[in-house]
């Protein structure tokens, strides 16, 4: 995204969490030094780094999951007196019992405890402060990806948020016995994982969800802190704000935990956009049900920056026409999700090859189709009559035509020329006659079979027989 915004004169910065990883072999092949400006941007998908904090410093017998995770935050905690070789874990993400034993937030019985950290020192206030510092020290057009870590596992939150919610605030779980008994084999495998079995227990939900709600409330309050600062400094007048997420969390819905299937609990993420421009006044405060994907954000930002959207590279659609009341829908007929689980133990559970351990979703406002490679039947949900997605109609003969229609939407997407990244559509259209203008006149029988201006270089020319010219000695 940063590469496209920079062309439009807008810097692009990261403050917080990202999962970007450098293609070290590819960079070495191209001679890109990781510590050079272009190398650093390639490694971070075009972003400049103000602070990268993946917010994860878990440690197992093989070492740290991400040795670079939370390092700056850990230094911050150490400087404030949190004594530990890993204060991220021992304080920000764990409780403490009366005997001084660390109660790790990784264990799902412990979210009922408060994190052993002052609220202002926990992860979300820390990153909010870093975001404010960035905005306070950077002028000119910029895009700041202020990426909060929480709410996220480990599910534990400091006071006062740890005591705000309890089991009485936990909404009823969305699932049925029938959906587990008759589950599609791939869906059943996800239900049977350790995390699925654990979150299927109500005592786990009663422990985790109140802490999760506390983490959400803390994030809300910190966004209020940020917006208050922006109001006082005039930034609300010239800054578009987009609130969204990368995925949801099942938390026991549909007999699953985590994020890795396609029900709305995982895929239907919030998207709230504040556009300060007068052009957005007509839609301000309204709700849109347009079919929108996360890939629409990059072209939207390029549009805001006044740049030209590279449609042959950016596959999404600018949302400015919707924000400005010029249209109600995006051009798409369905939203798409895809998931590759080839590196997951679930592939072994299903005896799936790396090639077959992949699945796709195509959904519109009425239907949701899920296709799993490996010869599996489709999954189909009626989103109007079954909004909780409890009844799988993929095997229903009465819905065969619907399945076929949704597969058409999916196949239109799979047939897209997504690898065409060098030339735009306008350039390709211009090339349709370019070769003839440069002397390529394939299929022309004689001079009268093509316009004079295209063949003028081939007319009226004279030469001698080559036998008169070459050296025969």
What is the predicted pLDDT for the residue at 463?
A: 92
What is the predicted pLDDT for the residue at 419?
A: 65
What is the predicted pLDDT for the residue at 332?
A: 95
Asked if 230 contacts 247 with a C-beta cutoff of 8 angstroms, the reply is no
β-strand 94-96 against 102-104: which pairing, if any?
antiparallel
What is the predicted pLDDT for the residue at 255?
A: 98
User: To 10 degrees, what angle do helices 202-233 and 123-137 make?
Assistant: 20
Provide φ and ψ at 135, rounded to 5°: -65, -30
| Per-residue pLDDT tens over the stretch 244-263 | 999 999 999 999 999 999 99
On the question of a common fold for 2-274 and 333-432, the answer reads no
Asked if 296 contacts 318 with a C-beta cutoff of 8 angstroms, the reply is yes
Fold assignment, 333-432 = Arylsulfatase, C-terminal domain (3.30.1120)
Fold assignment, 2-274 = Alkaline Phosphatase, subunit A (3.40.720)
| Per-residue pLDDT tens over the stretch 98-140 | 999 999 999 999 999 999 999 999 999 999 999 999 999 999 8
Residuewise pLDDT in 10s, the chain (473 residues): 999 999 999 999 999 998 887 888 888 898 988 888 888 888 888 899 999 887 767 777 877 777 777 789 999 999 999 999 999 999 999 999 999 999 999 999 999 999 999 999 999 999 999 999 999 999 989 999 999 999 999 999 999 999 999 999 999 999 999 999 989 999 999 999 999 999 999 999 999 999 999 999 999 999 999 999 999 999 999 999 999 999 999 999 999 999 999 999 999 999 999 999 999 999 999 999 999 999 999 999 999 999 999 988 999 999 999 999 999 999 999 999 999 999 999 999 999 999 999 999 999 999 999 999 999 999 999 999 999 999 999 999 999 999 999 999 999 999 887 767 777 878 878 877 666 677 888 888 888 888 888 888 888 899 999 888 987 65
For the chain, what is the largest distance between any 2 Cα atoms, rounded to a whole number of angstroms? 107
Which spans in 62-122 are helix H? Answer: 71-79, 87
| DSSP per-residue string spanning 384-398 | TT-TT-----TT-GG
269: its two tokens: 């993420």
Q: Of 70, 68, 98, 66, which is closest to residue 84 (Cα–Cα)?
A: 70
User: To 10 degrees, what angle do helices 123-137 and 71-79 make?
Assistant: 100
Could you give the 3-state DSSP secondary structure of residue 5?
helix
**Bond before 151 cis per omega within 30 degrees:** yes
Please give the angle made by the CA atoms of 356, 360 and 362, to the nearest 5 degrees. Answer: 155
Q: Is the pTM of this model over 0.85?
A: yes
Half-sphere exposure of 315 (CA within 13 A, CB side): 14
Q: So where are the chain's domains?
A: 2-274, 333-432, 436-468
């Amino acid at each position: 995204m940063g590469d496209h915004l920079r062309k439009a004169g807008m810097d692009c910065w990261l403050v917080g969490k990202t999962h970007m990883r450098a293609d070290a072999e590819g960079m070495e092949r191209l001679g890109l030094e990781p510590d050079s400006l272009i190398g650093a941007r390639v490694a971070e998908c075009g972003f400049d780094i103000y602070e990268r904090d993946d917010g994860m410093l878990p440690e197992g017998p093989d070492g740290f999951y991400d040795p670079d995770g939370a390092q700056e935050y850990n230094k911050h905690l150490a400087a404030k007196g949190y004594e530990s070789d890993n204060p991220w874990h021992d304080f920000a993400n764990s409780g403490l019992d009366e005997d001084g034993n660390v109660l790790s937030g990784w264990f799902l019985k412990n979210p009922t405890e408060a994190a052993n950290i002052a609220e202002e020192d926990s992860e979300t206030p820390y990153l909010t402060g870093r975001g404010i510092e960035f905005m306070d020290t950077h002028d000119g057009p910029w895009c700041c990806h202020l990426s909060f870590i929480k709410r996220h596992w480990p599910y534990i939150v400091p006071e006062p948020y740890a005591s705000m919610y309890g089991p009485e605030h936990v909404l009823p779980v969305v699932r049925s016995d029938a959906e587990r008994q008759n589950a599609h084999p791939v869906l059943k495998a996800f239900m049977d994982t350790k995390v699925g079995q654990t979150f299927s227990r109500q005592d786990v939900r009663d422990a985790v969800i109140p802490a999760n709600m506390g983490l959400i409330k803390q994030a809300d309050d910190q966004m209020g802190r940020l917006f208050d600062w922006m109001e006082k400094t005039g930034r609300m007048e010239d800054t578009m704000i987009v609130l969204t997420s990368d995925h949801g969390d099942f938390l026991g819905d549909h007999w699953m935990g985590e994020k890795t299937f396609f029900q709305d609990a995982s895929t239907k993420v919030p998207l709230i956009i504040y556009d300060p421009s007068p052009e957005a006044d007509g839609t301000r405060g309204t709700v849109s049900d347009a079919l929108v994907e996360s890939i629409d954000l990059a072209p939207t930002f390029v549009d805001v920056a006044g740049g030209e959207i590279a449609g042959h590279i950016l596959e999404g659609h600018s949302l400015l026409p919707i924000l400005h009341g010029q249209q109600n829908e995006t051009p798409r007929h369905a939203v798409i999700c895809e998931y590759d689980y080839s590196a997951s133990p679930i592939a072994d559970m299903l005896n799936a090859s790396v090639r077959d351990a992949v699945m796709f979703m195509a959904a519109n406002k009425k239907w949701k189709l899920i296709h799993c490679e490996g010869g599996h039947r489709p999954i189909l949900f009626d989103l109007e009559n079954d909004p909780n997605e409890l009844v799988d109609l993929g095997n229903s003969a009465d819905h065969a035509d619907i399945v076929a229609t949704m597969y058409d939407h999916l196949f239109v997407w799979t047939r897209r020329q997504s690898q065409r990244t060098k030339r735009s559509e306008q350039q390709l259209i211009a090339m349709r006659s370019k070769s003839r203008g440069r002397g390529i006149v394939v299929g022309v029988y004689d001079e009268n079979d093509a316009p004079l201006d295209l063949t003028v270089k081939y007319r009226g020319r004279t030469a001698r027989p080559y036998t008169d010219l070459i050296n025969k000695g």
